[in-house]
Amino acid sequence: MPGALRLYLDFASPYSYFALRPLARLAEEHGRALELRPILLWAVFKQQGATNPLEKPARRRYFLEDVIRSAEFFGLPFRIPEPLQISAHLAGRLYHAWTATRPQDGLRLASEIFEAFFAKGEEITDPAVLAALPCLADETPETVRAMIDGSEGRQRLGEAVDEACAANITGVPFMTLDGESFFGADRLPQIAWRLQHPRMA
């Protein structure tokens, strides 16, 4: 059975937003499962002893130019968030708690979180915003808050961060396929090529 395509993402990362749907299409076209691993990139960098690249003025200027261009390239609605960088731990906990029993709904939930933050400019650091996501319409705000604050979401998010560190990820989106690693939304053509030309064992 073909192995899964795994995606490490951060809900605060615009490049993760850009890559999600194209990767889902590639996985479906090639009969591969898509495994989503929301993480906190800042927590990975902390464990790795790495610095925030956007602290460098030149990198920050380029980033602001490139995300606008990339959104246009991928045909996605996009607003530069304010503040530019956040910790998406509430969204990450919610994702992991929700998908613990609903793995089939992970893509939809991830897509709605990204759209809320990057397309609509909503504050995904606010539990009320997360509770209002369309796919959670049948849940009460109290239930959503319990998933955000509960131990399962916290534990699974922490495990995903540790897994990402063990995989030596260098940023997000970071994809793994049949033992091979790919970093960045600009690696989508290489992933498509690799799916068509599997690496020989």
- From CA 162, how far away is CA 167, in angstroms rounded? 9
Tell me the whole-structure pTM to 2 decimals: 0.97
Residue at token pair 């793994």: 176
Measure the CA–CA gap between 80 and 1, rounded to whole angstroms.
41
According to DSSP, the residues that pair with 177 across neighbouring strands are 5, 180
Element (DSSP H or E) covering residue 37: strand 34-38
CATH of 5-196, one of 3.90.180.10, 3.40.50.300, 3.40.30.10, 3.40.228.10: 3.40.30.10
- Which residues in the chain come in under a pLDDT of 70? 1, 201
For residue 61, what pLDDT is reported?
96
Residues in the chain, overall count: 201
Helix intervals (H) in 89-173: 89-99, 106-114, 127-131, 141-149, 151-166
For 59-109, how does the pLDDT look when each residue is reduced to its tens digit (9 = 90+)? 999 999 999 999 999 999 999 999 999 999 999 999 999 999 999 999 999
Residue pair 8/166 in contact (Cβ under 8 Å)? The answer is no
- Can you give the residue ranges of every domain in the chain? 5-196
The pLDDT, as a whole number, for residue 2 is 83
